[in-house]
Amino acid sequence: MLRAALFALLACCLAPAIADERADTQRQLEAAQRDIAELQKLLGGLQQEKSGIQKQLQGTEREMGTLQQQIDSLEQQLKDGESEIERLDEEKKKLQSQRAEQQKLIAIQLRAAHQSGGQEYLKLLLNQQQPEQFARNLTYHDYLSRARSEQLASYNDTLRQLQAIEADLATQHALLAGQQLELQDRRSALDKVRDERRATLAKLNSELGDGDRQLKSRQREQAQLAKVLKTIEETLARQAREAEQARQLAERRAREETERQRLAASSGTSERKATANSGPLVSSNTPAFGGPFAKARGQLPWPVDGRLLARFGTPRGDARLKWDGVLIGAAAGTRVRAIHAGRVVFADWLRGAGMLLIVDHGGGYLSLYGHNQTLLKAAGDQVKAGEAIATVGSTGGQDTPALYFAIRQQGQPSDPLRWCRAQG
């Protein structure tokens, strides 16, 4: 009785704390969604591309990414469908073999029943000369009858299973044929869009020509990226400050409430102890996956396997422009993986960078992944270290597939070679 009372008292004490913890989690989730929505609104104003050719390039490369995703999805569905057909075929073969064995057994039982005669029960009943033999024969006869009935029931069940398997196979074959046709359509559409992109790139290269025009175009691209990064970093810093202020305010109120309840208990007006708001508060602006980014220097994996085509700080076609990240050559469609846990704060096409994805790792650290073929994550998504976030491509006007990879530390570019493990 005492134990039940203690459990009831404990449940009453914990219930408000659990409810408050769930409410805090929900508030943090809503705050994170508001933060991303605010950031996307600010970034939307920076994405007004004025060049008609750049708009065409943006449209075709986005369409290529969408079509490639559809193709990848259909190819996976086809693989799954083929695997399912193989499984159903194996199941069908087993059932057919089982049916053949059952048919043999039933045939043997029917022959035995025929040989014993159709009036076996009557004969046994009339033959009273040997009662013990009669009882044994009757038991044996009942056993054979039950075995024959069970065998027939099992055979009918096998036939039903076979019928169901054959129906599933027909459905899978029809589905597979439809997916193959759809895949052909998507591939044809992708080839068409690729031709449009080549024509757009030729027009863009013709418009830029050589020398100063190309340099000015690259400078505009870098300025656009710098503006986007500045907006992201300033917004994240402000949101972090606001979250910290809210956390401190909540802690102060919790302390005040705890003190009030302690005073009330000591004066005898209340014996209820404070349980609400006693747990740690987690800031939605600081990803808590995999530990702090700052302590991972020299230990991070590379986002993709490949060859370094350009190093940090080296000239970018012109001595007046430098690489603020690295360029890694890899096959188109290769999975790009997050180097550390965090939250996606940008996932869109950007002039010069193509399909770009930016991850906030907290503490003023960002990682950038550009020129992607497709983006597998959207703004606001939490990502784990090593999780696939994009696929290698050549968007942004590049000639060959490669990944632009950069790290930002407190608003400044940092050499990825200092952060990622040395290739051995």
Query: Tokens 């950069």 — which residue?
Result: 406
Distance separating alpha carbons of residues 356 and 393, to the nearest angstrom: 11
User: For residues 251 and 281, is the Cβ–Cβ distance under 8 A?
Assistant: yes
Q: Which two tokens mark 331?
A: 């096959």
pLDDT score for 136: 59
pLDDT score for 281: 29
Q: Which two tokens mark 41?
A: 């609104």
Query: Tokens 């990414």 — which residue?
Result: 65
In the chain, helix, strand, coil percent, each to 5? 60, 15, 25
Q: Which residues contact 128 (CB under 8 A, 6 or more apart)?
A: 134
Distance separating alpha carbons of residues 69 and 222, to the nearest angstrom: 28
User: For residues 341 and 386, is the Cβ–Cβ distance under 8 A?
Assistant: no
- The pTM of this model reads 0.68
Distance separating alpha carbons of residues 230 and 236, to the nearest angstrom: 10
Distance separating alpha carbons of residues 379 and 401, to the nearest angstrom: 24
pLDDT score for 275: 36
Q: Which two tokens mark 91?
A: 């199941």
Distance separating alpha carbons of residues 241 and 348, to the nearest angstrom: 26
pLDDT score for 408: 94
Q: Element (H or E) spanning 60, and its range?
A: helix 52-116
User: For residues 377 and 389, is the Cβ–Cβ distance under 8 A?
Assistant: yes
Cα separations in angstroms, 356 against 41, 67, 327, 373 = 17, 17, 14, 9
User: For residues 370 and 346, is the Cβ–Cβ distance under 8 A?
Assistant: no
- SS3 of 134-168: the string is HHHHHHHHHHHHHHHHHHHHHHHHHHHHHHHHHHH
Q: Which two tokens mark 342?
A: 């965090």
Exposure pattern of 356-381 as b/e (b: 16+ CB <10 Å)? Answer: bbbbbbbebbbbbbbbbbbbbbebbb
Query: Tokens 């979250």 — which residue?
Result: 243
Domains (range + CATH), the chain = 19-48+214-271+279-419 (2.70.70.10), 68-204 (1.10.287)
Q: Which two tokens mark 356?
A: 């770009």
What DSSP assignment string belongs to 234-251?
HHHHHHHHHHHHHHHHHH
Angle, vertex CA 329, rays to CA 209 and CA 379, nearest 5: 90
pLDDT score for 308: 92
Low-confidence ranges of the chain (pLDDT < 50): 118-119, 270-289, 424
User: For residues 413 and 325, is the Cβ–Cβ distance under 8 A?
Assistant: yes
